[in-house]
Structure 1
């Protein structure tokens, strides 16, 4: 071997950071790929193994073996795609990081990793992200990411010379593809049946799930660089019952809830009285409280559900790119002369409020530490309203609500009725009932906010015909079947994540001025409804007429007094 060849060999195989007495053995890249695939398959996929044990069972041992072998082949193929100089180690570091992170959340909260879950995570704010950090998470990441990353740094790779680099890269890929095809052809019926009947399995496969989610998200971001033409909706919108024909303008406060599930509302028959304020409003004169017990959400996460519930598209036809590049009902109201505003105490409006006045209220007493009390929204509402403008107002208050996993932070000491609470974001360290107690206390706080909002609206009745609308963006899992939080793909999501509370309070003045038959509305409220009804119903509530309003989705359509 020539002197230059010897120097080249040592440059390729020397341990990082210089030479010492001890050098890690140099291994060929295909061994590195195999070790990485075995490690990812064997130590990061316990949710996947639990799922196939539950769905397939040990009465079908060969099918279980085939599914595990398929997982190994897919992981081996994924790593092999990056098996060339300057790419293999960075790719493995990324895969171990994503596997460790997604594995932690799947094990701790029972969530599934897909593009919507990843989008929701990326669109969260710093405070929400900090709420997910825990000692358990740091220990998990140290064991399952830091240790492998250090080992990857130390291990030397002996790359083959010349044309052999290509064959060493192509051969494993070809073998993986061939074996996957053989497995698919010989076991198609039983494997296809398993994946078809249990669609959540694919979202449990680590690290393929997070890589696929990232790929989908990157594709969507890339498509956004070439945005479609903005679409205006409801250009013909007019207010059919103008302020001039009424003694006073309308003021509707729309409280956009966060992470509230309908079956934990006392109004809906929950065994605990988590809605004492709303229950009292049912009995109080001077207004009508209407409860909607059968409302389904558009999505299971804020990033999807909020844009959808304001869009004209509806869940069956929802397309985020279209929704974010077209008018929503707040834009249409503003065009019709209604003052539309957005006050936020959450992680933003997800593009819904981009074209209307938006504020994030602050107050020294109500904003201490990482979060502001939702009551700061009412303070901001008072400051924004000008009774002298003689215009209809539609004001959205986006609350922090029951955002998890730190439910215990959503209530103050004097608001904690249900004890003991789980005071940790590591649910595995808490009794399930303690988790539920903390969550139910957060529902009590929302109930208090709604009660205070109605009291504010009652105090403004000399200037406005007032009304309140409340609906949550999505629900929440509290440990049922080992699932916590939200964000499960809609077709797989439990009802706890899609069944949301919705209530309306209409002052007597609002009912009379806008000719609304509240008893008729009560009958409509008993029927199954969804976020899809909001677009036409909110425009209808504000007397906006347009071809964009669909009478079949407008809950006020048949409840106008003659």
Structure 2
């Protein structure tokens, strides 16, 4: 009794937490859900409202009412979801999660013009710390502070009325029913305009924040159930080396350079007004003008281009398959992947591979990353370490570039290759004017030109032992502010051409031409022929004379120049 009396007379017991005034000031959970839903539907969806305001026919009073109705729909859908989580221990954490997802989504959609779909969510899940560092800025922190942190602080400081389980269940059910009813009524009222807008402007569905993030995350999580990722189906089990290997005097050495965020239109070889490829212009290379990616992100394009399925079938696959490197290795060739970026997305898991992220080569590595030239460092020793029997037949070397990885383009080129000035030195691309942004990007192309030319020079020094060749293809393109879009990753169906039009450059040494009976002169007559990364798998197999039933000659872009 004495302890109870002491408790009742302490200042703690008389604090505002236990006071009737605090209890009367506590908010009902239902009102908290409504307020949070309205804030998220309005402030966190500025990117959506900007896009709607730009649409023809929606700049008048009718468009204003459509926007209001659309906001009501988003608020109702958000409220319905939160009602499922409106329990004493889960409501505040759930709203905080919604606020953070909405704030980050709003920042990236407003800053870079991106949308959030399953592919973008996959990119987010596969992002490494180095890439995260390139994206962090004071503008991002400020946006998250205003849109999420301050409302969350208010929420956590605000007492909520405590309801018994039965009453809470009843309230949650009523909020859910009311939210669904509002959603249905608003949809019915807006249906005519809504169906037209969504049909003609499909990108808007990926801007509904943060529902887009939750849907994309759920869809990404459901992929293992749609596709059996525990099984890897074999590809090209019958792969073998062709007749050219029987009496070869020098085995092939094929360098496959996998570029990053390369815009075909910014390569001087493709007619760009600026001399961004002066070193390659002095080499006997072939640069295809009409090449297209099978995705708009590394996570989508790289597995696709190393697959025999092609873009459409690859996206619809029910199981994962081995890829190009597995087939080449099975045929008996030595294969090595050197990565200077964010990984090979699974395509190099079963071959020898090297990661440059931990290298500290003076002059080439700084700030936790290396310039692409680091992949040529100790290259002869790396090749010598491959199995001797396979090496004697031929070597396939893949180099995955940092290339033109954004948004910090200025980090991708050394000082000696900053020809185009002034350049944008911020990762807030919208803070830079168009000229500075293009200058920074073009400097990355200039350095890629140097790296590819240096690779060719190295291959030339190996011609006494090998028959060397090089193929460079970028994984996807890049937006540089056109129509307020930046970076890449838009859904393929709505992505602009600059995110899909990629450079494809081939160099063949005289000994390789003689070996394959393919001439560079013939390839130059086909510069404008349409090709895509769907052709990549078959073209590499054909160039290396690897015979397998999965090879399709009609998909081999080099086959047309092969002499019998």
Q: Normalising to structure 2: TM-score of the pair?
A: 0.92
Name the counterpart of 1:10: none
Asked if the contact 2:361–2:374 (Cα under 8 Å) also holds between the matched residues in 1, the reply is no
Helix, strand or coil at the partner of 1:423: coil
Asked if 1:329 is matched to 2:327, the reply is no
Helix, strand or coil at the partner of 2:469: strand
Q: What is the 5 A alignment of 1:139-538?
A: 139-220=142-223, 227-282=229-284, 289-319=285-315, 325-361=320-356, 362-365=359-362, 366-386=364-384, 389-538=391-540
Helix, strand or coil at the partner of 2:258: strand
Change (3 A) 1:42 1:187: closer
Change (3 A) 1:46 1:338: same
Q: Deviations over 1:482-515 (max 9, x none)?
A: 1111111111111111101010000111001111
**C-alpha displacement at 1:321, in angstroms?**
6.8
Change (3 A) 1:161 1:517: same
Change (3 A) 1:16 1:110: farther
135-144 or 353-362, which moves further after superposition?
135-144
Q: Deviations over 1:92-145 (max 9, x none)?
A: 010001111111111111111112112112212211111111111122222222
**C-alpha displacement at 1:189, in angstroms?**
2.9
**C-alpha displacement at 1:160, in angstroms?**
2.9
Asked if the contact 1:33–1:79 (Cα under 8 Å) also holds between the matched residues in 2, the reply is yes
Aligned Cα RMSD in Å?
A: 2.3
**C-alpha displacement at 1:23, in angstroms?**
4.6
Change (3 A) 1:276 1:320: farther
Name the counterpart of 1:90: 93
Helix, strand or coil at the partner of 1:252: strand
CA distance in 2, matches of 1:276, 1:78: 56
Asked if the contact 1:243–1:390 (Cα under 8 Å) also holds between the matched residues in 2, the reply is no
Change (3 A) 1:420 1:20: farther
Name the counterpart of 1:57: 58
Helix, strand or coil at the partner of 1:558: helix
Asked if the contact 2:226–2:318 (Cα under 8 Å) also holds between the matched residues in 1, the reply is no
Q: Deviations over 1:343-389 (max 9, x none)?
A: 01101101000000001243421222221111111114322223974
Helix, strand or coil at the partner of 1:201: helix
Helix, strand or coil at the partner of 1:157: coil
Name the counterpart of 1:76: 79
Q: How many pairs does the alignment contain?
A: 542
414-423 or 121-130, which moves further after superposition?
121-130
Asked if the contact 1:363–1:376 (Cα under 8 Å) also holds between the matched residues in 2, the reply is no
CA distance in 1, matches of 2:188, 2:39: 27
Name the counterpart of 1:104: 107
CA distance in 2, matches of 1:142, 1:187: 34
Helix, strand or coil at the partner of 1:45: helix
Asked if the contact 1:336–1:544 (Cα under 8 Å) also holds between the matched residues in 2, the reply is yes
CA distance in 1, matches of 2:506, 2:149: 51
CA distance in 1, matches of 2:172, 2:221: 26
184-193 or 166-175, which moves further after superposition?
184-193
Structure 1 unmatched runs, 5+: 1-6, 8-13, 283-288
Asked if the contact 1:258–1:473 (Cα under 8 Å) also holds between the matched residues in 2, the reply is yes
Helix, strand or coil at the partner of 1:424: coil
Structure 2 unmatched runs, 5+: 1-6, 8-12
Helix, strand or coil at the partner of 2:506: strand
**C-alpha displacement at 1:446, in angstroms?**
0.2
CA distance in 2, matches of 1:371, 1:458: 28
**C-alpha displacement at 1:35, in angstroms?**
0.6
Asked if the contact 1:255–1:468 (Cα under 8 Å) also holds between the matched residues in 2, the reply is yes
Q: What is the 5 A alignment of 1:533-552?
A: 533-552=535-554
Asked if the contact 1:15–1:156 (Cα under 8 Å) also holds between the matched residues in 2, the reply is no
**C-alpha displacement at 1:271, in angstroms?**
1.0
**C-alpha displacement at 1:21, in angstroms?**
11
**C-alpha displacement at 1:16, in angstroms?**
12
Asked if the contact 2:73–2:187 (Cα under 8 Å) also holds between the matched residues in 1, the reply is no
Q: Deviations over 1:505-533 (max 9, x none)?
A: 00111001111133332334421110000
**C-alpha displacement at 1:80, in angstroms?**
2.0
CA distance in 2, matches of 1:341, 1:522: 29
Q: Normalising to structure 1: TM-score of the pair?
A: 0.92
Helix, strand or coil at the partner of 2:541: helix
Change (3 A) 1:407 1:162: closer
**C-alpha displacement at 1:64, in angstroms?**
3.0
CA distance in 1, matches of 2:98, 2:37: 10
387-396 or 498-507, which moves further after superposition?
387-396
Name the counterpart of 2:3: none
CA distance in 2, matches of 1:380, 1:364: 11
**C-alpha displacement at 1:556, in angstroms?**
2.2
